[in-house]
Structure 1
């Protein structure tokens, strides 16, 4: 399959081949071969996108996914953007997540030893930095790893007496050092956060970040203290689920059963980081009462409006503005997300293999980019795997709406691809315009 590809999100046309050297579900340092790991729902999904409860699905059932390719890097490269640093960062990310055994996935971040979570988070930041900055210099991952180590060393220098006190006093000293002396504070990512709160290198620089980022920094300090033989007790980090609280450490031997839901595992941390990025840069930001997929499906007229009578003039005007930007080939805006970073988050979530719905969400973004054939392939894979699993019998209203939108999107994609006279070439002429607006 080779042909001329055009997208309203891109500034030029390019050729795409399924055999192209793009990152695939089975490539990138063999991070994803669908032979062992499982798709399972995430417990951190927001209420508006309640996941299905799937039974165990072995990766050996995903043979068809080996033929599917990720498009982002190849699309940018074919339109004249150098993706060398982005590809290298993705390779680094894959080299880390391939260490995620079933046990490591469920291991608390405070005791994880198989995956370097700090480095993994920095590879995420390095890829996105390359996508938006087009810098000839990659993000200095090793320099920010050194900055994390400096935090630990600085704590030891200033609070050496805490290692001779009780576990509770040591943790209080560590939190005072982190949140008072160093001034790290939490940003609520639910309220249109600044992007720098979602990337580890920016949080280390500006000392303001999301709860997952602060939890990661906390756990990295604990990891170093343990490596240096300065911790002689087991520590867990209490991850807050409210919008304002800070991650806190506690002595594991004195934990309560109620603490269990607040333990952040290696897998859940990476999923939380990527889903925060996905939500922040999703190109359809209106109506936060609906899931990301329903917003994108609604923009494609593949989902019914929920409160049609209450739709405000502002929402209608914003939707028209969004459509105008799509037609002009603008990738990003303050109010309407960033397709590049939304796609990169989706691709990495698929590589993590934690939720079937990531295939569906990636598909709807490909639809809006004009990659109809590839969108249909991912949507078919999602449906096939979903149908081979056993969903929860009690589906909520959002699940019903989402599955209805999936069916409508599938119908539309089939119609587009079978319509007589449709071609990618004609799509090029009708949708590509001057991409002169600032990034």
Structure 2
């Protein structure tokens, strides 16, 4: 196991919010997001970039609990320590946070077709911009505004070719819009579960190559509807039917004709962002063996195999795969998304924690930190997960892996305590970090 030395994060009694504290001078501005109220949070306080360093900023949450402090995210600081410039990645993360701060309780459960608070298109592009910076090490940021213009151009182009549809019935209008998207413009759906086309997971790539995941196509569909509504050209309520199979395309329907059975297929602002980030997390998770189990169990199993403990019942193939995964991470090799990418997996986990939608994201982030060699921070995230889970109202779960996952958490906590108790334990050197000194082969 390898890792980078960082200052230990503060022990926290609250869900962690992005923090990269490298500047001593900053000014504080308030965020007005009522979404934190449901989790007993007061308004977050943002510390924007210092005037002396554009890449230095703080992002903290002030909790009503007097015992609560902050927890830090480690990815950007770790890359900085490896000599990787994260200026553009940090700016993109700032943009992402500036959008999700608008997710009030109502906004989280508002359909993407009628969303007005958070700019979902811009949020998706900030996600893409951060990951692009992480893997390309480009000296220029992804042009977010240029791709926003592409979304606007799609809407204007539709108006110029299908202006007669605005005087037609809702059914004919939606038929024209889908013909425009899926026939004239050639947008098609890619099955991202094959994990063969990472381009399908990022909005800028989908706009360029016109091949994307169901959430991305749903987002583009909704952005066109939003522009038409803002222009006063849409005079009826539309919902987007989000397909849960592997091949169907997102389609619109007249909201007044919706049925109760349509509810599971309606994307809200929160569920869309979760779909986008979980697709990225799944695609770039470093442990791709055994797709019948959860991501967390794959990583926990790899930890057991790597440490050669409790692996009596493990097959030789599983042991070899775990060793290969560790070897890839140590060397910084990711020539295929089938082998994962720890940087993008970590960034997806950090953003999922920021959304505060599921306590399990704390646990999943913790297990990645374990594999990175950040043992102290990993233990703190596991403890935070356990504390939050124990203090929350238990919900009935049909997840067949739930018991196995909780058992794995307990074992990892025990192991981490033993590691940290070991006399003379020190962190590995910076020079062996798999997070830096590598770029994509293309």
- Is TM-score (shorter-chain normalized) higher than 0.5? yes
Name the stretch that deviates more: 254-263 or 102-111: 254-263
In structure 2, relative to structure 1, the CA distance for the partners of 1:243 and 1:206 (3 Å cut) is same
Please say if residues 25 and 65 of structure 1, whose CA atoms lie closer than 8 Å, have aligned partners that are also in contact: no
Mapping of 1:17-416 within 5 angstroms?
18=9, 25=17, 35-38=36-39, 60=63, 66-301=69-304, 308=313, 311=315, 313=317, 315-330=318-333, 333-393=336-396, 396-416=399-419
**C-alpha distance in structure 1 between counterparts of 2:312 and 2:192, whole Å:** 26
Name the stretch that deviates more: 427-436 or 373-382: 427-436
Alpha-carbon RMSD across the aligned residues, in angstroms, is 2.9
For residue 255 of structure 1, report the CA deviation from its aligned partner. Answer: 1.0
**C-alpha distance in structure 1 between counterparts of 2:207 and 2:402, whole Å:** 38
**C-alpha distance in structure 2 between counterparts of 1:338 and 1:403, whole Å:** 25
- Helix, strand or coil: the match of 1:236? strand
Number of positions where the alignment pairs a residue of Structure 1 with one of Structure 2: 404
Name the counterpart of 1:51. Answer: none
For residue 331 of structure 1, report the CA deviation from its aligned partner. Answer: 6.3
**C-alpha distance in structure 1 between counterparts of 2:335 and 2:373, whole Å:** 16
Name the stretch that deviates more: 96-105 or 387-396: 387-396
Between 1 and 2, higher relative CO (CA 8 Å, sep ≥ 6) is seen in 1
For residue 438 of structure 1, report the CA deviation from its aligned partner. Answer: 6.7
* Structure 2, unpaired ranges of 5+: 11-15, 21-28, 41-61
Please say if residues 299 and 368 of structure 2, whose CA atoms lie closer than 8 Å, have aligned partners that are also in contact: yes
**C-alpha distance in structure 1 between counterparts of 2:312 and 2:209, whole Å:** 40
**C-alpha distance in structure 2 between counterparts of 1:433 and 1:352, whole Å:** 27
For residue 18 of structure 1, report the CA deviation from its aligned partner. Answer: 3.6
- 1:16 and 2:7 matched: yes
For residue 67 of structure 1, report the CA deviation from its aligned partner. Answer: 2.0
- Helix, strand or coil: the match of 1:172? helix
- Helix, strand or coil: the match of 1:16? coil
Name the counterpart of 2:54. Answer: none
Name the stretch that deviates more: 384-393 or 142-151: 384-393
For residue 177 of structure 1, report the CA deviation from its aligned partner. Answer: 0.3
Name the stretch that deviates more: 118-127 or 60-69: 60-69
1:279-334 deviations in Å (ceiling 9; x for gaps): 0000101100010000000111189999957x474x44433322222333546754
For residue 385 of structure 1, report the CA deviation from its aligned partner. Answer: 0.4
* Structure 1, unpaired ranges of 5+: 1-6, 40-58
For residue 33 of structure 1, report the CA deviation from its aligned partner. Answer: 10
**C-alpha distance in structure 1 between counterparts of 2:431 and 2:192, whole Å:** 37
- Helix, strand or coil: the match of 2:219? helix
1:102-154 deviations in Å (ceiling 9; x for gaps): 00000000000001000000000000000001101000000000000000000
In structure 2, relative to structure 1, the CA distance for the partners of 1:155 and 1:180 (3 Å cut) is same
Please say if residues 144 and 201 of structure 1, whose CA atoms lie closer than 8 Å, have aligned partners that are also in contact: yes
**C-alpha distance in structure 1 between counterparts of 2:137 and 2:189, whole Å:** 29
1:193-240 deviations in Å (ceiling 9; x for gaps): 311000000000000000000000000000011011111100000000
